[in-house]
Amino acid sequence: MNDPVAAELHKRFIENADDHWEPDEEGWSICTNWARKIQKALGEDRVTIAGFMTVDNPSAKRMDYLAGGHDFAVVDGRWIVDPWITEVEEEDKRGVYDLEEPFDDFMISIYGDPKCWEVTTLHVGPALSLPAICEPEAAPAPGM
């Protein structure tokens, strides 16, 4: 990672992900809990928890297979920080993704369309410059 902020986030929350959990602590497998750990560590002024249900974000095809929905931390309105994807699902080792860079195929399969994300209202941090709700793809008409 070339960006020093991304490198620090990766080191703190991806490389040392287990440092944020106590042995036998409940909730390790729940993505929202990972995002909450990041928000608690960095503060609500830096971290927003965003997420979606895959029924509302059909381009997140891999996530539909994995969980049916997903919550994750967005740090400083720029960085997705997602140790759940690296530690629980073991889908990717990057774990930190720059929203200022184009999404690659993997990111699309996990996060889908950012226009379909919602801010998790109980854990609101800084505002994201993303639409709050997207329109799900219309279902084909019966008989089509």
Largest CA distance in the chain: 54
Question: What average pLDDT does the structure give for the chain?
Answer: 80
Residue 54 lies in a domain: yes
Residue 144 lies in a domain: no
Residue 138 lies in a domain: no
Residue 134 lies in a domain: no
Would you say residue 20 has pLDDT above 60?
yes
Q: How confident is the model at residue 91 (pLDDT cuts 50, 70, 90)?
A: confident
Number of domains the chain contains: 1
Q: Is the pTM of this model over 0.75?
A: yes
Residue 68 lies in a domain: yes
Tell me, what amino acid is at 113? D
Is the separation of the CB atoms in 51 and 120 below 8 Å?
A: yes
Range of the domain at 118: 4-20+31-123
Strands 69-75 and 79-81, sheet pairing: antiparallel
- At 124 the pLDDT is 47
Q: Which of 1-10, 60-69, 94-103, 121-130 has the lowest mean pLDDT?
A: 121-130
Residue 67 lies in a domain: yes
